[in-house]
């Protein structure tokens, strides 16, 4: 670990008694001065999945990314949140039925917050029934459960089912679309704008490969209890059986999602994800020329990402990233680290070369509370920053007694 702060000089103070005598005169004033630590530096507003200012680890690999036939693509390690490699990640694209990832996200949120239940019956409106495009074939004024509609949305990609759920959550599709855009803003999807819930073509209904990856990562990590819908290969409703359009569910047993999309203007799109040896990777492919091409492109990205990169845990809330000196506390040092596990993705075999660099407020002055944010730690490889994480105090540090505080104040005078 490298630390960027002033070195602490604990040289023996041979004339400590004299210094103490000099210091005793202003003791009262010193004891009344604010002893709060210096303000923590504000972390740059860059998420773990950001591209600008952060090196995509694929650029450091000896095996280059595969050549793909797609308008835009991206591959991400879900454990670390790092984008491994991408092409045109911020280019505006039509999401088509990939829009249903956001629609499902909001339905899952409603289920978790008890605004809906899986067994709840939804009355199908005329508007939902008339929705054009791919269908679940629900009938107007019929009663369909939320569970059935979710299978209609995710497995069958039914636009009619999507609108029916949108109305169940928000009262109308227009209100639901407003929720979709609000949630996109909350997740930092700065280049995403929705105009409808199923993903029907519209000039302003746009997103990016990067935003789709962030949305998919958030859906996977927040709602693992609902991921089984995405690995379901078929669903029969109203005596009509439809297969999941994600071909990879049949060709690779490690693939368990997520969603296909297609319109004439958007091309063939797929957000795919797989788990191998406890590590999850997702890929985003937008604008492929055919159904088979999007599947082939996605599988190439998944295989390359698994075969050429490792993801390792560096530290967590029990293993500090750095041990820092504390002044005027009942203990002299405290661990600084992350509030959860911090993973990093690197080219295979290079995890030992990762260099953490900590930047935190100096001096750290007690009292400190567990969870106080005091700085950041950046993780670099070959001088390239891969990701940056906030640093938090990992345990409470109560203030020392009167003489302990005075002793540290004197030491700081010689700092």
Q: What is the mean pLDDT of residues 244-254?
A: 98
Q: Looking at domain 66-308, which CATH architecture does it have?
A: 3-Layer(aba) Sandwich (3.40)
Q: Which listed residue (157, 288, 298, 305) is catalytic?
A: 157
**Comma-separated ranges of CATH 2.60.410.10 domains in the chain:** 2-50+316-413
pLDDT tens digit sequence for 353-365? 999 999 998 899 9
pTM of the model: 0.84
Q: 100-112 and 173-186 are packed helices; what angle lies between their axes, rounded to 10 degrees?
A: 90
Distance of CA 366 to the CA centre of its chain: 33
What are the structure tokens assigned to 153, written together? 């949305």
Query: Which of these, 74, 242, 34, lies nearest to 158 by C-alpha position?
Result: 242
The dihedral built from the CA positions of residue 9, 12, 17 and 19, taken in this order, carries a sign that is negative
Across residues 302-317, what is the average pLDDT? Answer: 94
Phi, psi of 409 (to 5 degrees): -65, -40
- Read off the pLDDT of each residue in 237-252 and give the average, rounded to a whole number: 97
Residues of the chain within CATH 3.40.710.10 domain(s) are 66-308
Rg (CA), the chain: 27
Catalytic residue among 71, 80, 86, 97: 97
Q: Which of 231, 398, 238, 395 is nearest to 317 (CA)?
A: 395
Residue 391 preceded by cis peptide, ω within 30: no
**71, 100, 300, 409: the active-site residue:** 100
Closest alpha carbon to 367 in 406, 405, 412, 317 = 405
3-state DSSP: the chain helix, strand, coil percent, rounded to 5?
A: 35, 30, 40
Instruction: Express each pLDDT in 147-180 by its tens digit.
Output: 999 999 999 999 999 999 999 999 999 999 999 9
pLDDT of 24 strictly over 60: no
Spatial contact of 116 and 168, defined as CB atoms under 8 Å apart: yes
- Mean pLDDT score of the chain: 88
pLDDT at position 415 is: 75
Q: Let me know if 97 is a catalytic residue.
A: yes
What integer is the mean pLDDT of 329-354? 93
| CATH topology (fold) of 2-50+316-413 | Peptidoglycan synthesis regulatory factor (PBP3), Domain 2 (2.60.410)
The answer, yes or no, to whether residue 291 has pLDDT greater than 50, is yes
């Amino acid at each position: 670990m490298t630390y960027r702060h002033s070195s602490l000089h604990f040289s023996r103070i041979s004339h400590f008694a004299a210094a103490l005598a000099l210091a005793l005169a202003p003791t009262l004033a010193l004891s009344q001065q604010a002893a709060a630590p210096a303000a923590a530096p504000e972390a740059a507003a860059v998420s773990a999945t950001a591209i600008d200012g952060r090196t995509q680890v694929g650029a450091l690999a000896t095996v280059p990314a595969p050549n793909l036939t797609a308008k835009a693509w991206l591959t991400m390690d879900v454990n670390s949140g790092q984008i491994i490699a991408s092409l045109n990640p911020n280019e505006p694209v039509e999401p088509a039925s990939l829009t249903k990832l956001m629609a499902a996200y909001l339905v899952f949120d409603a289920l978790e917050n008890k605004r809906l239940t899986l067994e709840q019956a939804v009355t199908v409106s005329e508007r939902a029934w008339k929705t054009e495009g791919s269908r679940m074939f629900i009938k107007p004024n019929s009663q369909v459960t939320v569970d059935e509609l979710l299978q209609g949305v995710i497995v069958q990609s039914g636009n009619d089912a999507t609108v029916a759920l949108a109305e169940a959550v928000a009262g109308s599709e227009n209100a639901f679309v407003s929720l979709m855009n609000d949630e996109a803003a909350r997740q930092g999807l700065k280049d995403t704008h929705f105009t409808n819930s199923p993903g029907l073509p519209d000039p302003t209904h746009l997103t990016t490969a990067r935003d789709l990856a962030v949305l998919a990562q958030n859906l996977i990590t927040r709602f693992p209890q609902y991921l089984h819908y995405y690995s379901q290969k078929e669903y029969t409703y109203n005596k009509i059986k439809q297969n999941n359009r994600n071909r990879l569910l049949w060709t690779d047993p490690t693939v368990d999602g997520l969603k296909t999309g297609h319109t004439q203007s958007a091309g063939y799109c797929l957000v795919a994800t797989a788990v191998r040896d406890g590590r999850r990777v997702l890929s985003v492919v937008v604008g492929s020329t055919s159904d088979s091409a999007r599947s082939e492109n996605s599988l190439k990205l998944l295989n390359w990402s698994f075969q050429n990169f490792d993801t390792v845990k560096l530290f967590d809330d029990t293993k500090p990233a750095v041990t820092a000196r504390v002044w005027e506390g009942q203990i002299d040092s405290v661990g600084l680290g992350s509030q959860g596990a911090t993973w990093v993705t690197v080219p295979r075999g290079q995890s030992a070369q990762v260099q953490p660099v900590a930047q935190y407020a100096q001096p750290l002055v007690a009292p400190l509370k567990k969870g106080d944010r005091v700085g950041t730690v950046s993780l670099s490889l070959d001088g390239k920053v891969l990701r940056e994480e906030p640093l938090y105090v990992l345990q409470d540090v109560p203030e020392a007694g009167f003489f302990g505080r005075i002793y540290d104040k004197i030491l700081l005078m010689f700092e």
